Each structure stands twice: as C-alpha cells, then as structure tokens.
Amino acid sequence: MRYFSSFRLKVIAIITMVIDHIAVFLLADMGGSYGTAYDIMRGIGRLSFPIFCFLLVEGYYRTKNLSKYMLRLAAFAVISQIPYSLAAHDKLIQFGKFNIFFTLFTGLVFIWLSDTSIKLFKDSKKKATAILCLMVSFGIIAVTMYFAVEIGLDYGWFGLALILLFYFLREKPEKYDDVKLRFSLLALRSVSLFILIHCFYYESEIYALFALIPITAYNGEKGRSIRWFFYVFYPVHLLVIYGVKRLIL
C-alpha cells in the first residue's frame, strides 16, 4: 500500500531526527543512567537521514527550478551552522564539522553532475567528448567522497553514497503499479544499504534499513505544502536543544 506522500515522509524524518538529536546533543552530556534510552533513541534516529536522502532525489526530479532548490539548501546550510555548532560543540562556530545541509547540498550537486553527464553521453553524437565529461564528473564525485570526512561533511562518504544509491535506484512514477518491481527495488536497496553500513563500520546505522519501509510505500504525491517549515525547523530545533542544555547542565 502506497500511503506516504513526501509531506508524511518529511514528518517521519523530522520526528526521528529530533529524537536522535535529543539523545546525541542532550542525553550524552547529562551522564547518569541514560544508556538504554540513549541507544533506543539513536536507533530510532537512524531512520531520518535515509528518508531525507530519498526526498532530496525526488526533489531534484520534481523541482520546477533547480537553481533555487540548490540555493535554498546552500543558504540554510550557512544559516544552520551556528545553531549546529552550539548544539553539537558548545561553540559559536566549529570549523571542520558541518551540519547536514552541507551534505545534502553536496549530494544534490552530485545528482546534477551525474544526471547531466549521463544525459550528455546518451544524447551526444560526440561520444569522446561525452565520455570525457562523464569521467570528469565521476572523478569530482570520487575525490569529494574520498575526502568527505576530512572536509567535515556529516555522515562523510557514507552520506554521499546513500544519496547516490537513491539516485541510481530511483523508482520511476510510471512504474508504481508494478508490484514485483517495487519489491525487487526494495531488496536491491536493502542489500546495497547493508553493504554501505558494513563498510561504514557503524553498528547502530543498521536501523537505517527500517527507513526503506515507508520509502517503499511512497505514493509520489506532494501532500500538504509547508515547504519553508522544514527548512526553518532544522536550525530552530537545534537552538532549542542548546537552550535546554544550557538551562539544565
């Protein structure tokens, strides 16, 4: 059953993200007997990022203005850095550790590079030029992923690889009625994500596999339109968490 619109998926992603951030930015600093609660909340929080990655890919294909979409992500990456630095590191600015918007923006650039290069290769009569463009694009992607951790992108190369996974394993809207294809895609995504998690050596990330359940039930519909809320919510909730932390610690 295809129950989840992009709005409903965003709600799930936001709720699980907040649960995760309360654990990692608040409980972790409180000490005491919060071990079990922390582990449970972090496990729940693993659902958020794969959903955001999936929606990023869908946004690329559904946006009416890619430039504005990129600009919004870049703008809120900059806006969110101070709230993120405060919540995560108790500093006004923490260089070398960037918030998730920077990862999503980089992933969107990767999608654009990949999509543009592949289309050029398919449509161009000058295959040598097209192959060169393809190699340059994937070279840029490979180098950026290799240095993602050093750059300070949240989730490092794993996050960028997950975005590309949803790009290359995207379910086309005209195929939504093909049940066999849908579950084949679920299996392929599950295996691919499991391999990425295994390579990432981050055991709790295994719970991210559960995010594929609502993603597979995506119906291709937008749902309620409160676009700016989802952008603004990220820096605001980080400031709230930081404020609570300052009050109780």
User: What is the C-alpha separation between 103 and 77, in angstroms, rounded?
Assistant: 9
Task: Give the three-state DSSP class for 92.
Answer: coil
Higher pLDDT, 175 or 140: 140
Q: Is residue 13 part of a domain?
A: yes
Our measurement of the distance from residue 168's CA atom to the centroid of its chain's CA atoms, rounded to an integer in Å, reads: 15
User: What is the C-alpha separation between 31 and 41, in angstroms, rounded?
Assistant: 15
pLDDT of 186-243, one tens digit each? Answer: 999 999 999 999 887 677 789 999 999 999 999 999 888 877 899 999 999 999 999 9
Q: Is residue 238 part of a domain?
A: yes
Q: Is residue 211 part of a domain?
A: yes
Q: Is residue 67 part of a domain?
A: yes
User: What is the C-alpha separation between 56 and 162, in angstroms, rounded?
Assistant: 11
Q: Both tokens of residue 102?
A: 């920077």
- pLDDT for position 215: 97
Please report, as a single letter, which amino acid is at residue 117. Answer: S
Identify the domain containing residue 92 by its residue range. Answer: 6-248
Domain count, the chain: 1
- Per-residue confidence at 28, pLDDT binned at 50, 70, 90? confident
**Residues paired with 147 in a beta bridge:** none
User: What is the C-alpha separation between 59 and 94, in angstroms, rounded?
Assistant: 29
Averaged pLDDT, 14-25:
96
Asked whether residue 133 carries a pLDDT value surpassing 80, the answer given is yes
- pLDDT for position 2: 83
pLDDT of 52-97, one tens digit each? Answer: 999 999 999 999 999 999 999 999 999 999 999 999 999 998 888 9
Q: Is residue 1 part of a domain?
A: no
> pTM value?
0.94
Q: Is residue 175 part of a domain?
A: yes
**From the CB of residue 168, how many other CB atoms can be counted at a distance below 10 Å?**
12
Residue whose entry in the numeric block shows the structure tokens 């952008």? 231
Asked whether residue 116 carries a pLDDT value surpassing 90, the answer given is yes
How many residues are given for the chain? 249
